Structure 1
Amino acid sequence: MRKLISDMLNKHPLMEVIGIARNGKDAVEKVRDLHPDVITMDIEMPMMNGLEALKLIMDQMPIPVVILSSTTKHNTENAVLAIEYGAVDVIAKPGGAISLNLHEIEKEIVEKVFAASNVGIQTLTRKITPPQKRYTAPPTRMNTASDSRIIPSVPVQTVNFSKNITLIAQTFVIIGTSTGGPRALQEVITRFPAEFPYPILIVQHMPPGFTKSLAERLNGLSEIAVKEAEHGELIENGTAYIAPGGLHLKFEKSRTGYQIVLDGNEAPRSGHRPAVNVLLESAATHKELKFVTAIMTGMGSDGKEGMELLRASCKTITIAESQKTSVVYGMPKAIIDAGLSDEVKDVQEIANAILGNLK
């Protein structure tokens, strides 16, 4: 595996592999000696696993880390934690722990490692601001939040919402994000109050399997319900639906409200399935609805074409993440440069911006 990955990266004219580590302990020692620009790391390693090594590296000598992981449930959960701890991105190995068919994702590995070399390290080491209101998640949720939370420097905005959430709201919240997105989503979603009476649809570029672990992690940290979207389910107020990796997320009107449509037949858009553009195009067909949208950190420009269509078709407020806090200033930059943003906010301010536009 180390040889395969090294060969892939060394082919790139602007990248050179300067060291290979046999395990997490060896990796930490070599990082101290060699000072690389980027590290690729597996979760499963002998002597010291990827999470332990990542914590040491990000605490003592922070460097962008790209995680390669198999898609077992245990590993997808740990990969989501790795991003929370400061990893830039996660790549799914196509063939399990020993992936001899790694060449199938060579383009993805090279692109993500190169993108990681341009990441501002301060966006990875910034502590995620915990919600101001302390709470205990219900026992049915996966509550893995740290007990050592601190009071945030950015206060949660207080908005009085109607308690009537039986009928589907006429305003939807849509969030699109990619590289650096899981940390940004945690910053935003955990700040919504339990009585939040609007549905939230989320596209996060992630491989199949990882989005379910991300949804479970966010659900355990949030007062609202967060889940991986399921085909045909009715959309409920106060619930955030994350598009499953490998499937486009759309929605359609039903007799009793709106329901989720997952599409694995439509081709990826610019290499992404799910794609933010597809969700926004679906939203644009519902002229009876209003939307508050947020485009956050990520490579490329996914979301720009869909946002143009949505803003031309429906009443829409668009919030773009600032360059200052974006791990990769691609997707929000495309929105801002195209004149499609109503507000530009640091990630810590996006939840309040959404709440403020829902009054």
Structure 2
Amino acid sequence: MIKLLIADDSALMRKLLQDIFVAEGDFDIRLARNGAEALDLVRSFDPQVITLDVQMPDMDGLTCLSQIMIEMPRPVVMVSSLTAEGAEETLEAIELGAVDFVAKPSGAVSLEIDRLRPVLVEKVRAASKARIRRTLRLTERVRHQMRSAVTARVRPKPARRRPVSGAGKPKQKPGPSALPGLVLIGSSTGGPAALDAVLPSLPGDFPWPVLVAQHLPASFTGPFARRLNSECQLSVVEVGNPMPLQAGTIYIARGDADVVVAARATGIIAMPAPARASYLWHPSVERMVLSALECIDAERMLGVMLTGMGNDGAAAMKKLSEGGGRTIAEAESTAVVWGMPGELVKNGGAGLVRPVDDIAEAIVELVGAHASH
């Protein structure tokens, strides 16, 4: 049996969520009405996984999550709205250690719950087996977050790790030069925290553009890109319209759509594309990599597969590797869910396998070695 704690201030939502997991037949469930009750049950019930509402009375979800991650770290799936405020709160929760999130039904909850059911069950099952990232210094993150909350929730720019190489230059404006190469990064469950470990460690003079497909809703990728931009030496933008791929920039694919790479008379561009039903996850890592292979030599690309549920992008990155490109898969020891990188390793497409804290260094070394040839 999987021990599950459901924390939500809505009696209806608690009942609907409880019914979903009771029907699965292998969940032992407890319910909490607010963060304080949830903390008590974490101590007494010792759940393997928690679903946690962001907005609750007495003690909200973020405060509760902070305490859980300091005292009793375990997998937490946030239940949040798709509003701009909900996106910001959920990204804060992921920074604090939540492994995933589920969007609340936007209309009549009782009518939309069946649509939510398969996604919720899949994410909670995956989270119950997820690893908490000790390497990301959760306690340090939590305490920083709690200090920030005291000062009217004004978010100071955190001290970042020194770049793994390079002169640590300030953000440079993209130049018009030809595309020397391209880094393609795919991630899903646990990905925002993994990207936060990798991207800020790339130096300000990193010579290739970086294109990222992280499975997120459309309302989340803009705030996510802005947060990363405040932390990275490279500029970070959301791909909301066709953009030239240029050194000095990290491009985050817009959520609920796909991102494709295309050749134009002016150079290589990235652009959003309507999500295709033939791809299960969006933004699709598979479609991003395949589109890049159509217009850029594989030898000039580096594919990086970070934590994530499923197998999105594994086949395409194997094709990139077989064409002479380089690939890196996150090691099982640090991946929250070793689905996507694990599939790349299993299909023989991973050139290197590295823990998340070593991936930025590996990226810089591989790109530097390519430039020296």
Q: TM-score by structure 2 length?
A: 0.84
Change (3 A) 1:121 1:186: closer
Is 1:6 matched up with 2:13? Answer: no
Equivalent position of 2:54 in the other structure? 43
Q: Secondary structure at the match of 2:325?
A: strand
| Equivalent residues of 2:327, 2:349 under 8 A apart | yes
1:145-294 correspondence to structure 2 within 5 Å: 145=156, 147=158, 149=159, 156-159=163-166, 165-267=175-277, 269=279, 271-288=280-297, 290-294=300-304
Q: Secondary structure at the match of 2:114?
A: helix
Residue among 327, 335, 340 paired with 1:331? 340
> Matched residues in 2 for 1:268 and 1:24: separation?
40
Q: Secondary structure at the match of 2:294?
A: coil
Number of residue pairs the alignment of both structures matches: 340
| Equivalent residues of 1:70, 1:96 under 8 A apart | no
> Matched residues in 2 for 1:282 and 1:41: separation?
38
> Matched residues in 2 for 1:180 and 1:255: separation?
38
Q: Secondary structure at the match of 2:270?
A: strand
Change (3 A) 1:180 1:318: same
| Equivalent residues of 2:183, 2:211 under 8 A apart | yes
Equivalent position of 1:84 in the other structure? 95
RMSD after superposition: 2.5
Q: Secondary structure at the match of 2:28?
A: coil
Question: Which structure 1 segments of 5+ residues have no match?
Answer: 131-142
1:295-310 correspondence to structure 2 within 5 Å: 295-310=305-320
Is 1:56 matched up with 2:67? Answer: yes
> Matched residues in 1 for 2:166 and 2:57: separation?
49
Instruction: Give the Å deviation of 1:101.
Output: 1.5
Q: Write out per-residue CA displacement over residues 113-163 of structure 1, whole angstroms, 9 at most, x where no aligned residue.
A: 011111123558744999xxxxxxxxxxxx93565x48x5xx643247998
Q: Secondary structure at the match of 1:354?
A: helix
Residue among 324, 337, 342 paired with 2:351? 342
Residue among 91, 108, 124 paired with 2:119? 108
In terms of mean alpha carbon deviation, does 156-165 or 240-249 score higher?
156-165
Q: Once the two structures are aligned, what percentage of the paired residues are identical?
A: 36
Q: Secondary structure at the match of 2:177?
A: coil
> Matched residues in 1 for 2:362 and 2:28: separation?
42
> Matched residues in 1 for 2:249 and 2:140: separation?
21
Which amino acid is the alignment partner of residue 85 of structure 1?
L
In terms of mean alpha carbon deviation, does 244-253 or 232-241 score higher?
232-241
Q: Write out per-residue CA displacement over residues 68-127 of structure 1, whole angstroms, 9 at most, x where no aligned residue.
A: 110111110110110110101011223169675132121010000011111123558744
Which amino acid is the alignment partner of residue 30 of structure 1?
L
Q: Secondary structure at the match of 1:249?
A: strand
Residue among 332, 340, 362 paired with 1:353? 362
Equivalent position of 1:16 in the other structure? 28
| Equivalent residues of 2:179, 2:245 under 8 A apart | no
Instruction: Give the Å deviation of 1:170.
Output: 2.1
Question: Which structure 2 segments of 5+ residues have no match?
Answer: 1-12, 142-153, 369-373
Change (3 A) 1:170 1:97: farther
Q: TM-score by structure 1 length?
A: 0.87
In terms of mean alpha carbon deviation, does 273-282 or 121-130 score higher?
121-130
Change (3 A) 1:340 1:334: same
| Equivalent residues of 1:124, 1:327 under 8 A apart | no
| Equivalent residues of 2:306, 2:330 under 8 A apart | yes
Change (3 A) 1:129 1:293: farther
| Equivalent residues of 2:166, 2:204 under 8 A apart | no
